[in-house]
Amino acid sequence: MRFLGDARPAHDLTYSDVFMVPNRSSVGSRLEVDLTTPDAVGTTIPIVVANMTAISGRRMAETVARRGGLAVLPQDIPTDVVGEVVRWIKARHPVYDTPITLLPTSTVGEALALLTKRAHGIVIVVEDGAPIGVVTDGACQDVDRFTQLSQVMAPDPLTVPAGTDLPKIFDVLTEARVSAAPVVEGDRLVGVITRKGALRSALYQPAMNARGELLTSAAVGINGDVAGKTAALLEHGVDVLVVDTAHGHQEKAIEALQAVRSVVGSGRHEIPVVAGNVVTAAGTRELIEAGADVVKVGVGPGAMCTTRMMTGVGRPQFSAVEECADEARAFGKHVWADGGVRHPRDIALALAAGAANVMVGSWFAGTYESAGDIHDDGQGRLYKESFGMASARAVKARTSTQSNFERARAGLFEEGISSSRMYLDPVRPGVEDLIDGIVAGVRSACTYAGARTVDELHDRAVLGVQSAAGYEEGRPQPTSW
Ligand X SMILES: NC(=O)C1=CN([C@@H]2O[C@H](COP(=O)(O)OP(=O)(O)OC[C@H]3O[C@@H](n4cnc5c(N)ncnc54)[C@H](OP(=O)(O)O)[C@@H]3O)[C@@H](O)[C@H]2O)C=CC1
Closest residue to K ion in the complex (CB): 305
Distance, in Å, from the CA atom of 353 to the CA atom of 111, rounded to the nearest integer, reads 46
Which segments within 214-283 are labelled E, that is strand? 217-220, 240-244, 273-278
Q: Which is nearer to ligand LQESDW3C, 124 or 299 (CB)?
A: 299
Work out which of 41, 181, 208, 222 binds ligand X, going by CB under 6 A. Answer: 222
- Near ligand X in 97-156, by CB under 6 A: none
Let me know: does 301 contact 353? Beta carbons within 8 Å: no
Work out which of 125, 259, 299, 321 binds ligand X, going by CB under 6 A. Answer: 299
Let me know: does 356 contact 377? Beta carbons within 8 Å: no
> Residue 15 Cβ, how far from ligand LQESDW3C at the closest point, in Å?
11
- Evaluate the CA torsion angle 3, 4, 7, 10 in order and state its sign: negative
CA distances from 264 to 157, 181, 228, 393 (A): 48, 42, 11, 32
Beta-carbon contacts of residue 418 (< 8 Å; ≥ 6 apart): 387, 388, 391, 392, 393, 394
> Residue 350 Cβ, how far from ligand LQESDW3C at the closest point, in Å?
11
Let me know: does 99 contact 93? Beta carbons within 8 Å: no
The catalytic site residues sit at 305
Check residue 358 for interaction with ligand LQESDW3C (CB under 6 A).
no
Check residue 52 for interaction with ligand LQESDW3C (CB under 6 A).
yes
Q: Which is nearer to ligand LQESDW3C, 201 or 307 (CB)?
A: 307
Q: Is 81 exposed, middle or buried (0-12, 13-18, 19+ CB in 10 A)?
A: exposed
Check residue 411 for interaction with ligand X (CB under 6 A).
no
Binding string to ligand LQESDW3C for residues 334 to 353, with x set by CB under 6 A, is what? ----xxxx------------
Is 244 annotated as belonging to a binding site?
Answer: yes
Beta-carbon contacts of residue 192 (< 8 Å; ≥ 6 apart): 96, 97, 98, 99, 120, 122, 124, 180, 181, 182, 183
Binding window for ligand X (CB under 6 A); candidates: 170-178, 256-264, 300-308, 468-476: 300-308
Q: Which is nearer to ligand LQESDW3C, 231 or 310 (CB)?
A: 310
Is 245 annotated as belonging to a binding site?
Answer: yes
Check residue 48 for interaction with ligand LQESDW3C (CB under 6 A).
no
Binding string to ligand X for residues 38 to 67, with x set by CB under 6 A, is what? -------------x----------------
Q: Which helix (H) or strand (E) holds 115?
A: helix 108-115
The entry of K ion, ligand LQESDW3C, ligand X, none that residue 50 binds, CB within 5 to 8 Å by partner kind: ligand LQESDW3C
φ and ψ of 356, to 5 deg: -95, -20
Q: Is 377 exposed, middle or buried (0-12, 13-18, 19+ CB in 10 A)?
A: exposed
> Residue 64 Cβ, how far from ligand LQESDW3C at the closest point, in Å?
14
> Residue 244 Cβ, how far from ligand X at the closest point, in Å?
5
Check residue 277 for interaction with ligand LQESDW3C (CB under 6 A).
yes
- For residue 89, the Cα-to-chain-centroid distance in whole angstroms is 14
CB atoms within 10 A of CB 404: 8
> Residue 417 Cβ, how far from K ion at the closest point, in Å?
9
Q: Is 413 exposed, middle or buried (0-12, 13-18, 19+ CB in 10 A)?
A: exposed
Binding window for ligand X (CB under 6 A); candidates: 7-15, 104-112, 266-274, 292-300: 292-300
Helix (H, G, I), strand (E, B) or coil at 296: strand
Q: Which is nearer to ligand LQESDW3C, 19 or 387 (CB)?
A: 387
Helix (H, G, I), strand (E, B) or coil at 179: coil
Check residue 325 for interaction with ligand LQESDW3C (CB under 6 A).
no
The DSSP bridge partners found for residue 338 are 359
Applying CB under 6 A, the site for ligand LQESDW3C has a residue count of: 24
> Residue 301 Cβ, how far from ligand X at the closest point, in Å?
7
Q: Smallest Cα–Cα separation from 295: which of 304, 286, 303?
A: 286
Distance, in Å, from the CA atom of 308 to the CA atom of 56, rounded to the nearest integer, reads 24
The entry of K ion, ligand LQESDW3C, ligand X, none that residue 391 binds, CB within 5 to 8 Å by partner kind: ligand LQESDW3C
Q: Which is nearer to K ion, 140 or 305 (CB)?
A: 305
Q: Smallest Cα–Cα separation from 203: which of 447, 435, 449, 372?
A: 435
Positions touching ligand X (CB under 6 A) are 51, 221-223, 244-247, 250, 252, 277, 298-300, 302, 305, 307, 338-339, 389-390, 413, 415
Sequence ranges of the binding site: 244-246, 298-300
Positions touching ligand LQESDW3C (CB under 6 A) are 50, 52, 277, 298, 302-305, 307, 338-341, 359-363, 388-391, 415-416
Sequence ranges of the binding site for NADP(+): 244-246, 298-300
